[in-house]
Structure 1
Amino acid sequence: MPEAAPAPGAPPHPVAGQEPGGPRVLLPHLRGFAGRLIAVMVLSLVTVVGALAQPLVIRMVVDALADSEPIKGLVAALVALVLGVAAVNAVRDFWLQRVAEGAVRAVRTRLTAHLLRLPVAEYDLRRSGDLLSRVSADTTLLRNVLTTGVFDLVTGAVTVLGAAVVMALLDPLLLAAAGLGLGLGMLCSLIAARWIRPLSERAQARLGEMTSEVERAVSAARTIRAAGAEERESRAIADRARLAYEAGVRVARVRAAVSPLSMLGTQGAFLLVLGVGGARVASGAIGVGDLIAFVLYVFYLVSPLTQAVNAYVQVQTGLGAASRIGEILAIPAEDLHGRGPAPDRAVRTPANGAAAEGADGAPAAVEFDAVSFDYGAGPVLDEVSFTAPHGGVTAIVGPSGAGKSTLLALVERFYDPRSGTIRADGVDVTELSRSQLRSKLAYVEQEAPVLAGTIRDNLLLATPDATREELLAVLDTVNLRGLAERTSKGLDAEVGDAGVRLSGGERQRLALARALLTDAPILLLDEPTSQLDANNEAALRDAIAAVSRQRTLLVVAHRLSTVADADQILVLDSGRVVGQGRHHDLARENAAYHELAARQLLVT
């Protein structure tokens, strides 16, 4: 695996709140819901009009009673109006929830797709638990932005405007009295709510940190149990949970202040309306029906204003989550189809202007030409040059930290070198798109990852059209046929999370079988036998020898017995090639290789 984390030339990370986040992060995913949103808006306007009409009907009922007129028709109309508004509200809320769920789904789909396409350097810099938190917890908060957030702000504003117009027609003086009390309360509430977004953003970050700690502990549960470290790890998670709790309490403290401030404004408005309205009725300026209608309109005015304040609070909370999502979406994805080197890369051209050739005159399968690379903390590879001809095995050996795994990562273009040129089939890899380059390569990582699912799922990852016979044949090649015959499920047997139901050697061989199943002409194998017993190592060595007749293999190995028969062996030390040749020649002539071989009892 790479010897250090930060990669050179990693894209700058946006600062939370400065990236293209906020409501704009939802807009691309709302375009497909335009028709439903318009329908929801129309239904909302219908409910607003129906709600505003109710006090007027009640006023008519009161006036009719005062004049001893029949009220059956008015009461029936009022009941129908109330029931109609309730029914339309139910339909509107359902459609709005569907739109919100669809938008959240779209954001999750886009975010997940983007996460899988981030440059590899970003995974070195970030914890997987935090990324998972953005996909799950942060996207969930966006639902509130749509339902009790932005939409409530819009519908609340329309309701307030309509109520204010009718109240102005009833009595402008009473409207001014109500507006004074409500305005002061709402202003104080909005000032307090402005603190919620940054506090919510910090709370979500703390939740992401806690999720990372949980993910770390669960993924290493056996190691922690064997080390007797359960209490220590539990305390570490509890500390992160405490920080998340404290951040959540800070948000709750501000949110708790919003409602009382809003309530004070509401109570003040009612007292003013009752006081001023009572005096107006006593003076004969307005009638009792007018006052009752006005009081009901104050209710209608208070409700959307309170709703708007709460919606503003929800929006601020959701925008904190949106900023975290926007931070990830703002990172440029790895360009699979573009060509060209990294901007800061120095390219070296061979003196003769051509790529190196093999003994048969064909370009080398893989060529490193004065390649240097670092992760930002000192050189990892320094002026490395070699060629791997078509067919055969090129082994890469050396002490830990010499840069062996990094060399394979550069072939895959997980990173670009600081200087020098890497060629595949005589072509600078930067002149190929990453998808073109990787179609030539099959890569087995040092950790030999196995994905949760079945044996078949893992084998079909890179070759989805392979037949059952091909799957069984490749399992035979790596001496793993028995794995498919262990249970009645055969190839559909579950391997567990990260292959937990398999032994280390079985995971390694399954990953190798997945690579062998592809038609890639170049195989990159990082420690393919590190977890195998002697019998399986011998079988795998025979398989590698057979495969190398048709393909080119670059094999990183600590166990020299695995690669003693390699066509050529590169000896890396401190990022430099200090030896190149075959096993017997290097054992005699190269001190670094002789020392490695002597420690493994291959030479005396």
Structure 2
Amino acid sequence: MLRLLPYVVRHWTVYLPLLCLMVVEAFTGIFFAWFLKNSTEAAIHHETATLEWTLAAGMGFIVLTAAVSYLTTYLGAKAISLVKRDLKTDLFNHILRLPTEHYTKYHSGDLVSRLTHDVGNISGAVGESLLNLIRLVLISGFSLIYIFTMNRVLAVSCLLFGPVAVAIGSAFSKAMRKNNSSLYHYLGQVNSFLNEAFAGHLVVRAFTLESVFAKRFLDDSHRVSSLEVKSAQYMGTLRAGSSAVGAAALLFSVGLGTIYVSKGYITVGALMAFVSLVQQVVQPIRGVSGQLGNFQRSLAASERLWKIFAEPVELDRLHEYRGSMDVREGLVTRGLTFSYDGVAKALLNVTMRAPVGQKIAIVGQSGAGKSTLFKLLLGLYKPSSGQIWIDGKAVDQMAVDELRSYIAYVPQETILFGGTVRENLLLGRPDASEVEMIAAATDANAHDFILALPKGYDTDIGELGVRLSGGQRQRLAIARAMLRNAPILLLDEATSAMDAETELFVKEALERLVHKRTTLVIAHRLSTVRDADMIVVLKQGQVVEQGKHDDLLARGGEYSRLYRLQFQNRGTARKSIDDAV
């Protein structure tokens, strides 16, 4: 609650009127008791004038009650909406600033669940349940004060049942929150599973996994359902106990009140007022159980949010595009060492140089450290030791957005976002003009196929660009990098799985992209790096060879072995195909 308090205080202009309205609402219960007392006694004593103005006051009371009910409903909903908006914004911004390794720690579906389901459930702690708890306490407190003015013995008799109700609520609160925490944890897992199932639907169909996935979803649903039923059991027991205490308090108090009337201690009108006030005291005892259950659900949801907020961020602020930078000397790494787990070295003492305008190829077997090197160059991870320089300036002394303003990145697996072609291209440079965007698309051999789409540049490409072919998505990624116009290009070669015509289009686009840029390319097919100015060979995270294609072949080392192995495998595969035909 202390962590949620700043979000409440931030919108005090909404919460303060709400508190004032709840005070007024609490007084309406007292007014109703006063109305019963005075109208009953006026009727018994045939005081027509008193009865008339009492009834007129009652009419005004109805109008006031309606206005207060409308305003509390409206302001309560507004307060909840504002707090949830701020929580979602702060949580999403916090997630965006987390270090890269945290995106492997948390499943994307679980993060989505926290942003949607958990933030949605937190409304009880900052809105409806919290406000109702305050309202019930005010109503009960003001009613008790009025009863004290009427008869102290009756007031004390009402108070006797309070500790019993508190004890029942306390007994179930912790159990309910623990159960709800488990429930929200499994709901996050279910969301993660659904994300994977829908994203990988082609594999599900191809491998006939429908029944396997259906059974897993059924098992997860059973687990969630059992926790929901358990939560309902806790809630039912809490309500039953609270209702029993409330009914006992009402029965005892009314019984005592009738005795007082029979003995002449209080009037019939006072008894009517007393019964009404006891209802105002008992109602919170009954109602607090439901509100307490909702409140505990909200606190369980908030605990999952605070676990994310507790993760240390990598960035001190959200970064924005700051324009491309000029490079005059190039990029250098010296003694670059990195480990993911603190034990095994993914990179060890990597030293290399990428002069301005040259193409540097990074080759090696799978797991040699090629992708890890790119992640360090992008600033996604920090090296355990060693340093990266751009134009003689150490990368660790740059702001992250400054570092990335030097770099354009084209991944092997193209990543596009839901939206239009235009929106995806402008992610490379948001301030680019229409002419610049079209020029980049043209250079990437993408302009013609874009115009052939139903709405051209304003065509929605679907989730992750699913409505485009692989080659089209790759050319859009190249156009996005061209539009960024950064002097250093990190290129993960991605033409090996394309047909000949598409590969030709992509290769032509890549040739234009690397022109006059300092390029580091991860080469999966060694035949594509013969023209590289320098080839850096990685093996088990270490640089074992550097040089040009012909020189490395002549040495007969690791590069020569990889080259022979690749072409031998290709020849064997071709012979097998020919034999099969």
TM-score clears 0.5: yes
Q: Name the aligned partner's letter for residue 413 of structure 1.
A: G
Change in CA separation of 1:208 and 1:337 when aligned onto 2, cut-off 3 Å: closer
The 3-state SS of whatever aligns with 1:517 is helix
Structure 1, unmatched stretches of 5+, are 1-22, 339-361
1:13-52 pair list within 5 angstroms: 23-52=1-30
Which of the pair is proportionally richer in helix? 2
1:431-470 pair list within 5 angstroms: 431-470=397-436
Is it true that 1:120 corresponds to 2:100 in the alignment?
Answer: yes
Change in CA separation of 1:553 and 1:594 when aligned onto 2, cut-off 3 Å: same
1:66-215 pair list within 5 angstroms: 66-70=44-48, 71-215=51-195
Is it true that 1:576 corresponds to 2:542 in the alignment?
Answer: yes
Equivalent in the alignment of 2:336: 371
Deviates more, 1:539-548 or 1:484-493: 539-548
Equivalent in the alignment of 2:302: 322
Change in CA separation of 1:194 and 1:86 when aligned onto 2, cut-off 3 Å: farther
* TM-score calculated relative to the size of structure 1: 0.88
The alpha carbon displacement at 1:369 in A equals 0.8
Q: Name the aligned partner's letter for residue 251 of structure 2.
A: L
Where in structure 1 do 4 or more consecutive aligned residues deviate above 4 Å? none
Aligned CA-pair RMSD:
2.0
For the Cα contact (< 8 Å) 1:281–1:291, is it kept in 2?
A: yes
The 3-state SS of whatever aligns with 2:538 is strand
1-structure distance, mates of 2:116, 2:251 = 46
Change in CA separation of 1:599 and 1:482 when aligned onto 2, cut-off 3 Å: farther
2-structure distance, mates of 1:385, 1:587 = 21
For the Cα contact (< 8 Å) 2:334–2:352, is it kept in 1?
A: yes
For the Cα contact (< 8 Å) 2:121–2:297, is it kept in 1?
A: yes
The alpha carbon displacement at 1:280 in A equals 1.5
For the Cα contact (< 8 Å) 1:587–1:594, is it kept in 2?
A: yes
2-structure distance, mates of 1:258, 1:82 = 33
Equivalent in the alignment of 1:231: 211
2-structure distance, mates of 1:54, 1:72 = 16
The alpha carbon displacement at 1:255 in A equals 1.2
Aligned length: 559
For the Cα contact (< 8 Å) 1:366–1:388, is it kept in 2?
A: yes
For the Cα contact (< 8 Å) 1:36–1:95, is it kept in 2?
A: yes
Change in CA separation of 1:374 and 1:563 when aligned onto 2, cut-off 3 Å: same
The 3-state SS of whatever aligns with 1:114 is helix
1-structure distance, mates of 2:95, 2:415 = 18
2-structure distance, mates of 1:128, 1:164 = 52
Measured against aligned partners, the alpha-carbon deviations of 1:201-246 in whole angstroms (never above 9, x if no partner) come to 1111110011000011111111111111111122222222222222
For the Cα contact (< 8 Å) 2:471–2:506, is it kept in 1?
A: no
The alpha carbon displacement at 1:139 in A equals 0.6
Deviates more, 1:25-34 or 1:389-398: 25-34
Equivalent in the alignment of 1:10: none
Change in CA separation of 1:549 and 1:185 when aligned onto 2, cut-off 3 Å: closer
Change in CA separation of 1:119 and 1:139 when aligned onto 2, cut-off 3 Å: same
Deviates more, 1:65-74 or 1:303-312: 303-312
Change in CA separation of 1:562 and 1:537 when aligned onto 2, cut-off 3 Å: farther
The alpha carbon displacement at 1:364 in A equals 4.7
Structure 2, unmatched stretches of 5+, are 319-326, 572-581
The 3-state SS of whatever aligns with 2:484 is coil
1-structure distance, mates of 2:84, 2:207 = 41
Is it true that 1:503 corresponds to 2:483 in the alignment?
Answer: no
Bigger relative contact order, structure 1 or 2, given CA contacts below 8 A and separation 6+? 1
For the Cα contact (< 8 Å) 2:190–2:217, is it kept in 1?
A: yes
For the Cα contact (< 8 Å) 2:359–2:521, is it kept in 1?
A: yes
Is it true that 1:381 corresponds to 2:381 in the alignment?
Answer: no
The 3-state SS of whatever aligns with 1:24 is coil
The 3-state SS of whatever aligns with 2:367 is coil
The alpha carbon displacement at 1:541 in A equals 3.6
1-structure distance, mates of 2:175, 2:160 = 24
Identity of aligned residues (%): 32
Equivalent in the alignment of 1:494: 460
The alpha carbon displacement at 1:539 in A equals 4.3
